Amino acid sequence: MADAEAIARLLLESNAYYSNLAPAFFVPVEEEGLVGWIGSDDEWLSQPSSCALIAEIGGQVVGYLEASIEEPDEVARFSGNRDLRERRLFINSVVTAEEHKRTGVATRLVVAAEDWARAEGATLALCDTFLGSPQSLPFWEQRMGYHRRSVRLRKRL
């Protein structure tokens, strides 16, 4: 992937935000090998169900989104979960350069991913986010119109 270095910079910046915000839940990622790992995504990117979008301003990468289309689950008829019965977009990651937050970069990336997914026959969009983030939750709920559907609970053993 040609933009692997720029994407790595965005991921490191985002990870620093979360690992400082909630160190009980997030740890710093290892920088060594990150660019190579990102650059090795060619197989995933070649899949028609995969979507990776980059936002640039003045030739500089300022945002990145990674998502995929998930097919209806084979055993969904045995589950009451409606989501599993639909072709759905799952947004795995959205990161924006710190100096470009709250400028519409993430909004444009998400809208583009949703438009792509609709064109691919998806009828639902899903994502996970950290409830403790004062940036992320308002973005998804207030700006993008997503609704809380579930809460992932955790307990250290």
pLDDT value of residue 151: 86
Note the CATH architecture for domain 48-143. Answer: 3-Layer(aba) Sandwich (3.40)
Q: How far apart are CA 80 and CA 146, in angstroms?
A: 21
Q: How far apart are CA 24 and CA 35, in angstroms?
A: 26
pLDDT value of residue 60: 95
pTM, two decimals, is 0.93
Quote the DSSP letter at residue 121.
Answer: T
Using the structure block, give the residue that is written with the tokens 């250290």.
Answer: 156
pLDDT value of residue 112: 98
Low-confidence ranges of the chain (pLDDT < 50): none
Closest residue by Cα to residue 109 from 40, 71, 61: 61
pLDDT value of residue 144: 97
Closest residue by Cα to residue 54 from 65, 42, 67, 43: 65
pLDDT value of residue 31: 94
pLDDT value of residue 1: 64
